[in-house]
Structure 1
Amino acid sequence: MSNQENMSEATAEDMAVIPTSQHRVSCNGGGGALGHPLVWLTLGTDDKVVCPYCSRTFVKSTSDNS
């Protein structure tokens, strides 16, 4: 049962929404042994893109702080 809990925690973390001011972003899944190969992703016309490896979602930031 604890193995399933660990999987659900990792999934929730991996599916994080990451704000960006860039039109093109890179993702490595967090790096280290649990990461994935570095990929470059381009935000679509809806100003977001989802990593095909880890499902992290990159969203164009509307604030000037990022």
Structure 2
Amino acid sequence: MLGLLINEMEQKEIEYLLKRELEELLFDLEDSRIDQTVKAAMRERYHKLFQLLRRVVSEQECMKYMPKQTKNW
């Protein structure tokens, strides 16, 4: 296990970056032009980033970025 000491400003920056990346991934996952193999890699990345987001934001904030339960997930 690793630990990380960050100040509040750094936490907000990490939160912002993670949210932006998750939003972009969600948008791209809806694009029908993207190959399913690529989407599988994108979903894997999304899950990893979501786990990181859970460590720096509240449960309510996490709910906004929960993936929709569809056959693609």
Give me the TM-score of the superposition, normalised by structure 1.
0.35
Greater share of helix residues, 1 or 2? Answer: 2
Greater share of strand residues, 1 or 2? Answer: 1
Give me the TM-score of the superposition, normalised by structure 2.
0.32
